[in-house]
Chain A
Amino acid sequence: TQLLEQSPQFLSIQEGENLTVYCNSSSVFSSLQWYRQEPGEGPVLLVTVVTGGEVKKLKRLTFQFGDARKDSSLHITAAQPGDTGLYLCAGEGSNFGNEKLTFGTGTRLTIIP
């Protein structure tokens, strides 16, 4: 089983602050996805990173894939209440026949107005 640990598990910060959440594994992934989930809904894809060291930006969100493709981070600048939600990373296995997604444990983010 390829385990993905996310940290912190919970994070509550004031509107306007910056934050970073992490997704770590001892396994190599061929790609890594970040999803956001709101209460009562299924997760929705934010971004996919594929290349080691890749950085992608989505407005105030910056995603980075580690050089070794074992970890990733999500940085939010000037957090807004609309950023509140559960953030999940998901890694795609790099071995043939094991390409299915493995989800991380999640970071529950609350932005206080």
Chain B
Amino acid sequence: NAGVTQTPKFQVLKTGQSMTLQCAQDMNHNSMYWYRQDPGMGLRLIYYSASEGTTDKGEVPNGYNVSRLNKREFSLRLESAAPSQTSVYFCASSEHQMNTEAFFGQGTRLTVV
């Protein structure tokens, strides 16, 4: 089983450029999440999708958009990248929102210069 697959693994963007981070899971999970991880701040939720067809803002949604393309795929888009968006991004999925294990991808290290 591949679990949660994120692409790309590394990316360097110039300020103002746009890009989409892709995420797919093969576990038939209902819920999917995008987090960013910065030193000393743990994981902060950007957006989540409790089920196919729904998306909601998390703790730090500004500057990002998401699409739950189908049950498997949940993409994160940066329309106009800023240096403050330099971070490691993790996609995760879980069977449901409540009281279930979250499975994480390997992360995307994004640098905005």
B98 touches A99 (CB 8 A): yes
Partner of B105, one of A9, A42, A50, A88: A42
Q: Give the CA-CA distance A33 to B104 in the complex, in Å.
A: 14
A42 touches B59 (CB 8 A): no
Give min CB distance, B112 to chain A, whole Å: 20
- State how many residues of chain B have any CB contact under 8 Å with chain A: 24
User: Contact flags (1/0) for B28-52 with A, using CB distance below 8 Å?
Assistant: 0000010100001111110010000
Partner of A103, one of B40, B43, B99, B105: B43
Q: Collect the chain A residues with CB atoms within 8 Å of residue B102's CB.
A: 33, 43, 45, 90, 101
Q: Collect the chain A residues with CB atoms within 8 Å of residue B103's CB.
A: 42
User: Contact flags (1/0) for A27-46 with B, using CB distance below 8 Å?
Assistant: 00011010000001111110
Q: Is the interface of B mostly helix, strand, loop or mixed?
A: loop
Given A42-B106, A105-B40, the answer on whether A48 and B45 have CB atoms closer than 8 Å is no
Q: Collect the chain B residues with CB atoms within 8 Å of residue A90's CB.
A: 43, 102
Given A42-B4, A88-B43, the answer on whether A100 and B99 have CB atoms closer than 8 Å is no
Q: Total A-B residue pairs with C-beta atoms closer than 8 Å?
A: 62
Q: Collect the chain A residues with CB atoms within 8 Å of residue B101's CB.
A: 33, 45, 48
A30 touches B98 (CB 8 A): yes
**Residue of B42, B101, B105, B106 with most chain A CB atoms under a 10 A cut-off:** B42
**Residue of B4, B40, B43, B106 with most chain A CB atoms under a 10 A cut-off:** B43
Give min CB distance, B98 to chain A, whole Å: 5
Contacts from A to B (Cβ < 8 Å): 1, 4, 6, 9, 30-31, 33, 40-45, 48, 50, 88, 90, 92, 99-106
The 3 closest A-B pairs by CB, nearest first: A42-B104, A103-B43, A103-B42
Q: List 30 A-B contacts (CB under 8 A).
A: A1-B59, A6-B42, A9-B40, A30-B99, A33-B101, A33-B102, A40-B106, A40-B107, A41-B104, A41-B107, A42-B4, A42-B90, A42-B103, A42-B104, A42-B107, A43-B43, A43-B90, A43-B104, A44-B104, A88-B43, A90-B43, A90-B102, A99-B97, A101-B102, A102-B59, A103-B43, A103-B44, A103-B45, A105-B40, A106-B42
